[in-house]
Amino acid sequence: MATKPFKYQDTFPLSEDKTEYYLLTKEHVSTTEFEGKEMLKIAPEALTLLTEKAFRDVNFLLRPDHQA
């Protein structure tokens, strides 16, 4: 059986990002130095807050009753 020649194709061509984002908080996030490089430092409270907001958004915004 003959194998088709490989032809490169972008998997998901990118377009303009029209996603609407919102700021949860400016707290619990900072930067720090690690091995001479600046790193983002996330406090556990930030992950807790993010999780709570994500569950709320999924339960409220993605329910069919709210999409009408």
pTM given for the model: 0.61
Length of the chain: 68
- Segment 31-55 shows an average pLDDT of 96
Residue 62 per-residue DSSP state: S
Looking at residue 2, its pLDDT comes to 81
Looking at residue 68, its pLDDT comes to 62
CB 16 within 8 A of CB 33: no
Bigger pLDDT: 65 vs 8: 8
Q: How does residue 9 score in pLDDT terms, banded at 50, 70 and 90?
A: confident
Q: 23's torsion region: left (phi>0), alpha (psi -120 to 50) or beta?
A: beta
- Segment 38-55 shows an average pLDDT of 96
